[in-house]
Amino acid sequence: TTGMGEVIVNGIEVGLKPGDRVLLVDPADTTNRAVKRVKKVTPDQATQTTRIELGGVVSSPSFLLGLIASPFISGITKQTLSNTAITGVFKGKVFAQSDIHAFTLIQNWSPFKLAKSVNTPKPPPPGPELAGVFAMRRRASVFGHNAPRWANLPQVVQDKPTLIPGRLIAAADLSKAQYPDDWDNLTVQQSTPGDRSVDLDNVYSSMVPGGWLILEGDGVVRSYEIEANEELSRSDYTLSAKVTRLTLKSNEQFGTLTIRHMAAFGESDKLALARLPITDDLTGDEVILDGYYPGLVAGQPVILTGERTDLSGVVDSEVLVIKEVLVDGALE
pLDDT tens digits for 188-236? 888 888 789 999 999 999 999 999 999 998 888 999 999 999 999 998 8
pLDDT of residue 310: 82
Say yes or no to pLDDT of 294 above 60: yes
pLDDT band per the 50, 70, 90 thresholds, residue 319:
very high
pLDDT of residue 288: 84
Who contacts 41 (Cβ-Cβ below 8 Å, separation ≥6)?
14, 16, 17, 18, 50, 51, 52, 53
Q: Which residues pair with 229 in a beta bridge?
A: 246
pLDDT band per the 50, 70, 90 thresholds, residue 68:
very low
Is 324 found in the same domain as 288?
A: yes
The model's pLDDT over 263-276, given as tens digits with 9 standing for 90+, comes to: 999 999 999 888 77
The model's pLDDT over 238-263, given as tens digits with 9 standing for 90+, comes to: 888 999 999 999 999 898 899 898 99
Is 119 found in the same domain as 152?
A: no
| 235 inside domain | no
124 or 67, greater pLDDT? 124
Residues 101, 270: Cα–Cα separation, whole Å: 42
**Contact by Cβ (8 Å): 23, 214:** yes
330 or 150, greater pLDDT? 150
pLDDT of residue 41: 94
Is 286 found in the same domain as 324?
A: yes
Q: How far is CA 206 from CA 22, 180, 229, 248, in A?
A: 17, 35, 9, 15
The model's pLDDT over 99-113, given as tens digits with 9 standing for 90+, comes to: 888 888 888 888 888
| 289 inside domain | yes
| 131 inside domain | no
| 42 inside domain | no
Q: For residue 94, what is the enclosing H or E element?
A: strand 94-96
pLDDT band per the 50, 70, 90 thresholds, residue 155:
low
Instruction: Please report how the helices 97-107 and 111-119 are oriented relative to each other, as an axis angle in degrees rounded to 10.
Output: 120
Mean pLDDT confidence for 151-161: 57
151 or 8, greater pLDDT? 8
pLDDT band per the 50, 70, 90 thresholds, residue 37:
very high
Which range has the worst mean pLDDT, 31-35, 45-49, 54-58?
Answer: 54-58
Say yes or no to pLDDT of 283 above 90: no
The model's pLDDT over 296-308, given as tens digits with 9 standing for 90+, comes to: 989 999 999 988 8
By three-state DSSP, how is residue 169 classified? strand
Mean pLDDT confidence for 146-169: 61
pLDDT of residue 191: 86
Question: Domain tally for the chain?
Answer: 2
Say yes or no to pLDDT of 39 above 70: yes
| 17 inside domain | no
Is 153 found in the same domain as 119?
A: no
| 41 inside domain | no
| 119 inside domain | yes
| 300 inside domain | yes
- CA dihedral of residues 167, 169, 173, 176 (deg, nearest 10): 40
pLDDT band per the 50, 70, 90 thresholds, residue 156:
low
pLDDT of residue 133: 92
User: For residue 121, how far is the Cα from the chain centroid?
Assistant: 21
Average pLDDT, the chain: 81
Burial pattern 227-246, b for ≥16 Cβ within 10 A else e, equals: eebeeeebebbbeebebbbb
Structural domain of residue 171, as residue ranges?
148-182
Mean pLDDT confidence for 57-67: 32
Which range has the worst mean pLDDT, 19-28, 91-100, 160-169?
Answer: 160-169
